[in-house]
Amino acid sequence: MMEITLQHYLVLSTILFAIGLIGVMRRKNLLLLFFATEILLNAVNIAFAAISSYYGDLTGQMFAFFIIAVAASEVAVGLGLLVLWYKRTGKIDLDAMTSMRG
């Protein structure tokens, strides 16, 4: 079997990031849009961990930790806002959220 190199992990990370981008482009439901952003953050985490491992440096893992912390707080605030919006309007569609008309 061939050896797994850094490029393998970067390719995988890119594929997952592209999947997340497809989700962001495709989704109109805000809850499923949040799921797509979680995929984006996880794809980047894989790249950070792989680079950290192959260069023998811990900075990448540190960044991955802070990304996880940011993702957790993003979910808490975002879901709170989403629940509030659903209580007011009864729908969580992105297209229905056009209250700001310029």
Partner 1 sequence: MEAIAFYLFAVLTTVMFLITVLTNHALYALSALAAGMIFISAFFFLLGADFLGAIQIIVYTGAVMALYAFGMMFFDTTRDVVESRTSPQIIFGLSGLAALTVVAMFTAPIISENITALYPAIDGVGNSQMVGMVLFTKFLIPFEVAAVMLLVAMIAGIVLAGKKMDHSLTLMKEEEIERETNEKAQV
Burial of 56 (0-12, 13-18, 19+ CB in 10 A): exposed
For the chain, how many residues are written? 102
CB-nearer residue toward partner 1: 32 or 99: 32
Task: Report in angstroms how near the CB of residue 100 gets to partner 1 at its nearest.
Answer: 18
Q: Total number of residues binding partner 1 (CB under 8 A)?
A: 73
By CB under 8 A, residue 98 contacts partner 1? no
Please report, as residue ranges, which positions from 23 to 42 form the binding site for partner 1 (by CB under 8 A): 23-29, 31-32, 34-36, 38-39, 42
Give the DSSP H or E segment for 18: helix 6-26
